[in-house]
Amino acid sequence: MFKGIALVFLGACSFGILSTFVKLAYREGYTLGDVTGTQVFFGFVLLWSIVLLRRMFTKNTNRYTSTLTDKLKLVAMGTSTGLVSIFYYKCVQLVPASIAILLLMQFTWVSLLLEAVIKRKLPGLSQVVMVLLVLLGTALAGRLFSGSIPDFDWRGVGYGMLAAVCYSVFLLVSGAAGNNMHPTTKCALLLTGACILVLSIFPPVFLINGSLFDGLLKWGLVLSVFGTVIPPLFFAYGIPRTGLGLSAILSAAELPVAVVMSWVVLQEEVWPVQWLGVLLILAAIALSNLGSVYQKRRLKKLTTA
């Protein structure tokens, strides 16, 4: 149990530091295509290398079976993660990193909305309260009530919300395929879809124009390791050990990590009211998931009594 908690927590922290690294890469003059392209390219190489090494040194691999259809589904689903990277990193380009992560965290209520539309079922009272708390926390963290709204390009808000929607879509569909595959293989196939999409939009000119060895290589490796290798692998191994409810609470760690990194490394101004908003969002996520965990345990006791 402790190992699972540690893996999910570290995976979330890994996600949380990405926006700071992207900001630093932008400061060195690299573009959206550079950062997204190198991230998925090196992530693709690293993950498939891990898959090949596992197959070379693991004797029993027959217990993981999958069809070509399952693999193609995962590749198709992976395109949504590519869109998340494009929209989120564009958002980071236009707004402070501490604001960008708040916009991405809106996936918490967007997921509920999409699920309600797909299943044609209204969300429960606790879910509605969670949504209201997240929105209030976002307003506080964005200093909407302070009379001093940060000066940034408001197009970034649109890109941030698009990233949240794409992330919500990915969460809803990712559990529908590949559950009989090894986690490393599933992650590699998902990243293959992201890689195809991103490199189709942003051709990998960094491979031939010399920018890799002019400073871009370090950002590509850092972003791929902390963005496309560590989080999906740690989540794949950790979530089955902790359960979805506790994992959702632990994964919210990416929010304070991102805000702290933007404050310490990027020297972005973070007001006390913004910290209050962050805490409110974390509390909303924790209360919502703790409630669902409690209800499941209570139902299990009633059915086994």
Q: Assign 3-class secondary structure to 18-41.
A: HHHHHHHHHHCCCCHHHHHHHHHH
* Predicted local confidence at residue 83, as pLDDT: 94
Per-residue pLDDT tens digits for 104-118: 888 888 888 887 888
Q: Of 82, 36, 13, 79, which Cα lies nearest the Cα of 204?
A: 36
45 sits in which H/E element: helix 32-57
* Predicted local confidence at residue 183, as pLDDT: 83
The two tokens of residue 209 are: 């124009």
**Cβ atoms 74, 183 nearer than 8 A:** no
Q: Cα separation of 131 and 281, whole Å?
A: 9
The two tokens of residue 68 are: 């070509």
CA distances from 53 to 25, 48, 190, 192, 271 (A): 31, 9, 18, 18, 47
* Predicted local confidence at residue 130, as pLDDT: 79
Q: Cα separation of 8 and 31, whole Å?
A: 30
Whole-prediction pTM: 0.86
CA distances from 78 to 64, 137, 164, 262, 289 (A): 20, 30, 15, 28, 26
Output the tens digit of pLDDT for each of the chain's 305 residues: 678 888 888 988 998 899 999 999 999 999 999 999 999 999 999 999 999 998 887 766 566 667 888 888 889 988 999 999 999 999 999 998 888 888 988 888 888 888 788 878 777 777 788 788 888 888 887 777 666 666 677 899 999 999 999 988 887 776 666 667 888 888 899 999 999 999 999 999 999 988 998 889 999 999 999 999 998 888 888 877 776 666 777 777 888 888 889 889 988 888 888 888 888 888 887 777 666 555 556 555 556 65
* Predicted local confidence at residue 68, as pLDDT: 82
The two tokens of residue 157 are: 């808000």
Per-residue pLDDT tens digits for 278-305: 888 888 877 776 665 555 565 555 566 5
Q: Cα separation of 292 and 118, whole Å?
A: 20
Across 185-216, b (16+ Cβ under 10 Å) vs e yields bbbbbbbbbbbbbbbeebebebeeeebbeeeb
- CA 89, 94, 97, 103 dihedral sign is negative
Mean pLDDT of the chain: 84
* Predicted local confidence at residue 85, as pLDDT: 93
